[in-house]
Structure 1
């Protein structure tokens, strides 16, 4: 975020909240080694600076009836900024699209999609995604299983890097 520099305590706060966003401020303060009032001030500053964008529950998609997870690689006819933005905005409007990332290389975007069943995803694929303006190719891969799904960033790697440069 612009102009803000994180110290070791800020990074500890972020790492702890990334692992468990529901802990109390008192518990967070204890874990990072400061008292509760300055801990709360730091959390508020991290939120206001945009380092903490929100707090979310990690829900079990399959337990909630979303049995199908698919990655869709999308190629566009035009990569003009207006067309890229238009496609990104369209992705935000599709409920089945949970993530949308612009890439360089052979495909323009990769989408992470969920659906309750294959027929629902197939309907989305044919009626929405491939029919969307400027889309020229879509290749899909069905997720068989997930071996790792860690949110956020590996703070321990950053701490290592910072200690080497000090």
Structure 2
């Protein structure tokens, strides 16, 4: 799907502020409101825009603990992978689940209200899941960077860094 400069501007602006009105968006990209709305609808239909959501602060809402869990499975047969993914989908504290290549099969990002609740999730829902051979966890100390979305290049491809002399 080729996106022109205006499409990329729309994507960048909506990624930054999904609550922006169509009138404001149109003004920022140099269009009138109707063609801007048509472009947004087309980007949604193409799947470039998957949805809109609010970015919530986990600690403020009672989830100050963020943990990454590295999960190894006994079998990587597709049925076993799908069963693990279905199991994880039922744990609301697991916010992300990514299948990896290499020694670790999955990395999970989960949140917890406190260390006791994290331990409960770990011991009763993760390590006991079918096909799980090991779970290694790391609690986050702080988050230095957490940007949602992806980088959107507005113009041509980004310039290459200048070579050192």
CA drift of 1:163 comes to 8.0
Change in Cα spacing, 1:147 to 1:38, as seen in structure 2 (3 Å) is same
Q: CA RMSD in A?
A: 1.5
Aligned length: 160
CA drift of 1:162 comes to 7.2
* CA deviation map 1:89-136 (0-9, x unaligned): 211111010000001112000000001111001001000100000000
- Tell me the TM-score normalized by structure 2: 0.92
Q: 1:32 aligns with which of 26, 29, 44?
A: 29
Query: Where does the alignment leave 5 or more consecutive residues of structure 1 unmatched?
Result: none
- Tell me the TM-score normalized by structure 1: 0.92
- 2:73 counterpart residue number: 76
- 1:86 counterpart residue number: 83
Q: 2:150 aligns with which of 141, 153, 159?
A: 153
The 1-side partners of 2:67 and 2:100 are apart by: 17
Higher helix content, 1 or 2 = 1
Flag as ranges the 4+ runs of structure 1 deviating above 6 A. none
Query: Where does the alignment leave 5 or more consecutive residues of structure 2 unmatched?
Result: 161-165
The 2-side partners of 1:78 and 1:154 are apart by: 35
